[in-house]
């Protein structure tokens, strides 16, 4: 059970780093405006 939770945490971290950075890069290239996410920037 704890092993699954660890993996789940790992996946969440990958989604919120690699996945988010990729989406931000696409956003910036598409709109030529800095990525704004409310609290994020």
Partner 1 sequence: MASSRPSRRRPIWIGGWLLFLLPLPLLWAMIIALGKGALAGFLSSAVALGLLLLGAWVTRRGLYQAKRRPMSSSLPLKTIGGVITAVGTALTAMVAGHNPAIGICFGGAALLGFYLTYGFDKRLKLSNDKDVAAALEEAYRKLERLEAAGENIGSRDFRERLQRISAWGEKILDRIGDDPEDFRRARKFLNVYLDGAQQVTDKFARTRGDANSAELEENFRTLLADMETVCEEQYQHLLDNDVVDLDVQIEVLTTRLKREGVY
SS3 32: coil
Q: Confirm or reject binding of residue 1 to partner 1 (CB under 8 A).
A: no
Integer Cα distance of 34 and 11 in angstroms: 26
Q: Which of residues 6-35 bind partner 1 (CB under 8 A)?
A: 6-7, 9-19, 21-30, 34-35
Q: Is 36 in the site for partner 1 (CB under 8 A)?
A: no
Question: CB 32 → partner 1: shortest distance, Å?
Answer: 8
Q: Binding to partner 1 by residue 40, rule CB under 8 A?
A: no
């Amino acid at each position: 059970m704890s092993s699954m939770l660890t993996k789940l945490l790992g996946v969440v971290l990958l989604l919120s780093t690699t996945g988010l950075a990729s989406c931000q890069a696409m956003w910036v290239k598409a709109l030529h405006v800095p990525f704004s996410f409310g609290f994020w920037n």
